[in-house]
Structure 1
């Protein structure tokens, strides 16, 4: 009797993945772009193979020596322009700052910044300009910054005392500075130190670990299902809920 084995689910996903990428690439062929030179690229993954198997900063330095101070890299679906010359960087940030003002689309940032609603990752436009105006006039004005000087002085003194009391004993300076910075921000924002500080800092570190490096959802942003397939989106949302709980308890609690 002839047996028909079920087609593996992973194979279906991979086939769909290839099909969508091929369709997007063929659709983009008609769009003519004037781009800087760059290294040869592989189908689908582009230049990822030149970065993921070595130290990225060294690979980029080697590639820049071959292709010049301005080069293009294809990171999955994402086209990246790499600039390695201080002079060109200055020109980009001063002359073409408006054209390059937007931030990249990153899943971790979308989740943790409430769908890019904060000033750092919000798209450049009227909303961003309004947020910037509020920050400059209300949060970062000279008068406002000076009003928190006592808090900064107290927390820096606490940090120095903590370090001096640990004389002769190894300490984790990064953790102490992180804790001190957290205390300053918390006291300035809500008038008191953050409860559950260790848990809060641990969650922040976990968030950065998840959001760092090369992640499939960021390299292929049009394939939204990758965030669910890899489990990254659910993991980030779980951290977000825990951070929200801590912030709510600190804001509304005694």
Structure 2
């Protein structure tokens, strides 16, 4: 009799365990507190709603918003993503609930090419981001500092006008001309002079890395696919080449500051300014060389 009762107890426990596993797999929403989540399109296992983005994501998201409303929850792999499609919803996110949404996603490829995302655009919200923003607002983007680069803008604009005059009567690729104009100003403001050839090549590779889809950021357990496809290797190669390029430029500025090449405050570029901030211990902010590179790169 005792053996029979023990067998019954064992069978009951096994049945209970099997039932709990079945419920957890079949009806996971019964085992957790229901949350008031936004509407969400039906998703597929593993990839979630990635298949619904299509070749024109902005059009696909607009079509989905027409069906599910201005706030909807999409799942890109295992990453839950809130999509806002109205001005009112955007205001709620960017202004009213700014602190809840102000951090940044963690993407492996971006971490590789952007020094662990130490720049202002992609650094996670926290003390580092606040200090970096303060440095940028005070030392890089103030009205006085922006006005100090007026001569650079005037010189480059003069070159554009002269080029248009010279090519009078012939076809001109305005897009390429304006892109070159913007790049030259950016190089002079950030690094003191223009860099052609290698820099353009590195920038093109860098931009390719920014827009490429990497599986591991959305489906972590498939992250090995990015290394197998060569994506991680390409990112590491581009990061190494860009790091060597930026290292040589910073070293050049450091050497100039030791000699007679260090100009007045009006002649300083962003690297000079950031090196001054790094040297100034009064801020209480550790401004290492990788942070300087990350800020300049972005």
Q: TM-score, normalising length from structure 2?
A: 0.68
Q: 1:242 to 1:67 in 2, by over 3 A?
A: same
Alignment-derived partner of residue 198 in structure 1: 197
Alignment-derived partner of residue 147 in structure 1: 148
Q: 1:95 to 1:174 in 2, by over 3 A?
A: same
Alignment-derived partner of residue 237 in structure 1: 236
Offset of residue 204 of structure 1: 1.5
Q: 1:236 to 1:87 in 2, by over 3 A?
A: same
- Alignment check: 8 A CA contact 1:105 1:221 kept: no
3-state SS in 2 of match to 1:98: helix
Q: 1:249 to 1:51 in 2, by over 3 A?
A: same
Q: 1:139 to 1:238 in 2, by over 3 A?
A: same
Alignment-derived partner of residue 249 in structure 1: 248
Q: Could you give the per-residue CA deviations for residues 57-85 of structure 1, whole angstroms, max 9, x where no partner exists?
A: 11111111100000011111111111110
Q: How does 1:28-47 map to 2 (within 5 A)?
A: 30=32, 33-47=35-49
CA distance in 1, matches of 2:36, 2:240: 44
CA distance in 1, matches of 2:174, 2:35: 48
Offset of residue 171 of structure 1: 4.0
- Alignment check: 8 A CA contact 2:215 2:225 kept: yes
5+ residue gaps, structure 1, are 1-22
- Alignment check: 8 A CA contact 2:47 2:219 kept: no
- Alignment check: 8 A CA contact 2:48 2:75 kept: yes
- Alignment check: 8 A CA contact 2:46 2:219 kept: no
CA distance in 2, matches of 1:76, 1:229: 19
Offset of residue 180 of structure 1: 2.2
Alignment-derived partner of residue 74 in structure 1: 75
Alignment-derived partner of residue 50 in structure 1: 52
Q: Which has the higher helix share?
A: 2
Alignment-derived partner of residue 20 in structure 1: none
3-state SS in 2 of match to 1:80: strand
Q: 1:186 to 1:55 in 2, by over 3 A?
A: closer
Offset of residue 40 of structure 1: 0.4
Q: CA RMSD in A?
A: 2.4
Q: How does 1:218-233 map to 2 (within 5 A)?
A: 218-221=217-220, 223-233=222-232
Q: Could you give the per-residue CA deviations for residues 208-252 of structure 1, whole angstroms, max 9, x where no partner exists?
A: 223315321222246543432232111011112222233333444
Alignment-derived partner of residue 114 in structure 2: 113
Offset of residue 136 of structure 1: 0.8
Alignment-derived partner of residue 268 in structure 2: none
Residue 93 of structure 2 corresponds to residue 95 of structure 1: no
3-state SS in 1 of match to 2:72: strand
Q: Could you give the per-residue CA deviations for residues 140-184 of structure 1, whole angstroms, max 9, x where no partner exists?
A: 111111111111111122123224433444444333333222222
CA distance in 1, matches of 2:179, 2:106: 27
Alignment-derived partner of residue 177 in structure 1: 178
Q: 1:163 to 1:73 in 2, by over 3 A?
A: farther
3-state SS in 2 of match to 1:72: strand
- Alignment check: 8 A CA contact 1:109 1:116 kept: yes
Q: 1:146 to 1:39 in 2, by over 3 A?
A: same
